[in-house]
Amino acid sequence: MNIRNFDLNLLLVFRTVFEEKNVTKASKKLGITQPAMSNALNRLRYLVKDELFIRGPRGMRPTQRAMDLSLPITTALNNLDLALSSLNFTPETTKKLYRISITDDVAPLILPNLINFLEKKSPNSSLRIRSEQGNDALKLLDSNELDFAVGRFEIIPSRFGSIDLFIEKYVCIMRKNHPFADDEKLSIEQYLSAKHLRVAPSNAPAAPIDRSLSQLNLEREVFVRIDLLTLAPSILESADLILTLPSKTAQRMANNYGFVISELPIELGKRQTKLLWHKELTNHPTFEWIKKQIRPD
């Protein structure tokens, strides 16, 4: 296929149908009629000699050929958008969508200020917040599906830039009428005799406290385990459970719900929360501007 004879607008058609999985929604997003969108899609099918998208009960399902094409086409178009947007970047008028992955415990420390800043300084821009962490977040940065990732990254490949946002120690919290609520620091006997709440998805590795206890041939009783931190306050309010978590989040929850903070009986390594981005975005005015605003309150 000779690219000189290829209508590059068809790449926009491909990307939009791939994202929306619906021809009608894709045509509205591009501002063209549905017959025009269908015609463009048929031209694209003819050129690549593949159906690309097959209608199904959940919308237009991409073929394997479409899956193979999605990353290079999306990357090429995103790079073009990136290059053009940097030519005349003005925060007050930009319609840039900033895509950030962040954990639900760190999000309340960063997002309120960031949203407030964008409302005032860049009202036409927008945010897309996701929750992927670890290798999943790195893959999304590589595929240009994320601009930034915020979290605890122990190993950072050289292709990524990073800065430390803040460092925290681990503490534990409980309701104010918990039997141990009057103790500023728990003893190891108290900690092990208590029932615990853990916040972590099912595929998460062992928590730092559990790794440290394991090295001492000790184990705590995790009585309740949940996926989302947002559920923790209502559980802690209703039961004599202890939640071990980073100090900034613990302080926020203590302030909001009247919980008591106690020191752990053993010393854990500090938690470092980092901001990551792909190095190809370094010094890009569109991203340098917003990067300075991704920080805790």
**Which pLDDT tens digits describe the chain residue by residue (297 residues)?**
556 667 878 888 998 999 888 988 898 888 899 899 899 999 999 888 999 999 888 888 999 999 988 888 887 887 777 666 655 678 888 888 999 999 888 999 999 999 999 999 999 999 999 989 888 999 999 888 899 999 988 889 999 999 999 999 999 999 999 999 999 999 999 999 999 999 988 777 889 999 999 999 999 999 999 988 999 999 999 999 999 999 999 999 999 999 999 999 999 989 999 999 998 777 788 888 899 889 887
Same fold flag, 3-73 and 97-166+273-291: no
CA atoms within 13 A on the CB side of 156: 21
Q: What is the DSSP letter of 180?
A: T
276/153 Cα distance (integer angstroms)? 9
Residues 107 and 100 sit within 8 Å (Cβ to Cβ):
no
Which residue in 69, 68, 82 sits closest to 14, CA to CA? 69
Query: Does the structural domain 170-269 have CATH classification 3.40.190.10?
Result: yes
Q: How many other CB atoms are there within 10 angstroms of residue 4's CB atom?
A: 5
pTM, full prediction: 0.68
Q: Kindly indicate whether the domain formed by 97-166+273-291 is annotated with CATH number 3.30.499.10.
A: no
DSSP 186: -
For the chain, the domains span 3-73, 97-166+273-291, 170-269
CATH topology of domain 3-73: Arc Repressor Mutant, subunit A (1.10.10)
Contacts of 127-135 spanning 24+ positions with Cβ under 8 A: 127/97, 127/98, 127/99, 127/100, 128/97, 128/98, 128/99, 128/100, 129/100, 129/101, 129/102, 130/99, 130/100, 130/101, 130/102, 131/101, 131/102, 131/103, 131/104, 132/101, 133/101, 133/103
Cα dihedral sign for 243, 248, 249, 254?
positive
What is the 8-class DSSP label of residue 21? S
